[in-house]
Amino acid sequence: MNKKNYLKLAKNSADIQIAELKKVKKIFNNSFIKAVDLILNCKGKVICAGIGKSGLIARKVSATFSSVGIPSFFCDPAQALHGDMGQIEKKDILIIFSYSGNTAELTNMLRYANRFRIKIIGIASKPDSILLKASDIKLILPKVKESDVTEMVPTSSTSITLLLGDCLATTVMHQKKFSKEKFKVFHPGGNIGRTLLLSKDIMLTGKKIPIINYKKNLNEALKIMTQKKLGVVVVLKKKFIMGLITDGDLRREIKFKDISKNKNLLNFITKNPLVVNENMPAQKALAIMNEKQITSLLIVADKDLKKSNKTLKGIIHIHQLLQSGIK
């Protein structure tokens, strides 16, 4: 077989699935509205269940709900027969995934839920299936063409099921006014967490900031710069930023003149140094440092950014950003 045909086959499979996924809009009806309302008003947990490939989808959808602050977990219907049913309470709701809706392992879970009047959102393709007959809210998946050569391997059918689960989650997110700030709380680590970090999450504060009063002399500034190991000293007048002295500034001065007799700090400061607000994304702060070819940024409160007198809240060094995984 011509290996170039591999790409043609892959593109054909993708085209079929993309076309079939558009059918998900057929499910956006009154039943979908009821499902969203049920999830929004749930006083307990959103429990997702399924067997086989539907189980994998249920795990992913449950993880999505959890990641946006909706208590959720996956329950394997087969394992539930051996004691896991005890995790399901009356105030919970069940979202059960099964493309056929007739998976035998679901029977006992459905009986348990119906017995204790636990609400069920059933997701399946056959209206007369055991799952949808037992469900309070029925989300009927449309018939789709599978994208493999036999048109039998679950491909388009699993994709559209996952898409429906994601649509439920994102609709609930929107109604709950879920923000980036809230998302960061549930994703403190990994690439997502790093992307959402703000300058104030990383900046050095308090005694870790190399600061000096403008009336002090150069020797004291050098001592602080050495102790804090950031290569800078922030010069303050009262609590306001007057300027900045960097080790680079001093090296350039030493190269051309004797500074031993000129110890007035004001002769060495860079006035009006670059400052950024505390809510600036850390990634943007790093981009500014790279663009300006500097190693530190001073951080101020949003309300002070446009003021002539700015109160220092913190400082970020490029090493902190890199150590935090910011790129």
How far is residue 26's CA from residue 39's CA, in Å, rounded to a whole number?
Answer: 20
- Examine residue 190 and state whether it is found in any structural domain, yes or no: no
CB 304 within 8 A of CB 310: yes
How far is residue 223's CA from residue 201's CA, in Å, rounded to a whole number?
Answer: 28
Count of domains observed in the chain: 2
Which CATH number does the domain housing residue 299 bear? 3.10.580.10
- Examine residue 10 and state whether it is found in any structural domain, yes or no: yes
- The answer on 213 and 151 residing in a single domain is no
- Examine residue 183 and state whether it is found in any structural domain, yes or no: no
In sequence order, what are the residues at sequence separation of 6 or more whose Cβ sits closer than 8 angstroms to the Cβ of residue 90?
Answer: 44, 116, 117, 118
- The answer on 117 and 44 residing in a single domain is yes
- The answer on 232 and 161 residing in a single domain is no
H runs (alpha helix) in 136-263:
156-175, 180-186, 190-196, 199-202, 218-228, 247-256
Q: How far is CA 126 from CA 19, 82, 122, 143, in A?
A: 21, 28, 11, 9
List the Cα angle 250/280/197 in 5-degree steps: 105
How far is residue 152's CA from residue 157's CA, in Å, rounded to a whole number?
Answer: 10
- Examine residue 40 and state whether it is found in any structural domain, yes or no: yes
- Examine residue 313 and state whether it is found in any structural domain, yes or no: yes
Among 178, 213, 247, the domain boundary falls at 178
pLDDT of 68: 81
Which CATH number does the domain housing residue 18 bear? 3.40.50.10490
CB 213 within 8 A of CB 223: no
Q: What is the pLDDT along the chain (327 residues), one digit of tens a residue?
A: 577 788 889 999 999 999 999 999 999 999 999 999 999 999 999 999 999 999 999 999 999 998 888 889 999 988 876 667 778 889 999 999 999 999 888 998 999 999 899 999 999 999 999 999 999 999 999 999 999 989 899 999 999 999 999 999 999 988 888 766 665 555 555 555 556 678 888 888 888 989 999 888 888 888 888 888 888 899 998 888 988 888 877 777 665 555 565 567 777 788 888 888 888 888 888 888 888 888 888 999 888 888 888 888 999 888 888 777 777
pLDDT of 192: 55
- The answer on 102 and 137 residing in a single domain is yes
pLDDT of 214: 87
Count Cα atoms within 13 angstroms, Cβ side, for 74.
17
- The answer on 253 and 159 residing in a single domain is no
Instruction: Note the pTM of the prediction, 2 decimals.
Output: 0.65
- The answer on 51 and 143 residing in a single domain is yes
- Examine residue 188 and state whether it is found in any structural domain, yes or no: no
- The answer on 173 and 30 residing in a single domain is yes
pLDDT of 54: 94
Token pair of 46 as six digits:
């959103």
List the Cα angle 91/94/96 in 5-degree steps: 175
Question: Which residues in 169-195 are b (16+ Cβ under 10 Å) and which e?
Answer: bebbbeeeebeeeebbeebeeeeebbb
How far is residue 310's CA from residue 259's CA, in Å, rounded to a whole number?
Answer: 29
pLDDT of 261: 58
- The answer on 311 and 235 residing in a single domain is yes
- Examine residue 223 and state whether it is found in any structural domain, yes or no: yes
- The answer on 238 and 166 residing in a single domain is no
Among 178, 213, 243, the domain boundary falls at 178
State which amino acid sits at residue 72. S
- The answer on 129 and 206 residing in a single domain is no
Provide the residue range defining the domain that includes 292: 199-323
In Å, the largest CA–CA distance within the chain is: 94
- The answer on 216 and 118 residing in a single domain is no
Among 148, 178, 208, the domain boundary falls at 178
- Examine residue 79 and state whether it is found in any structural domain, yes or no: yes
- The answer on 111 and 44 residing in a single domain is yes
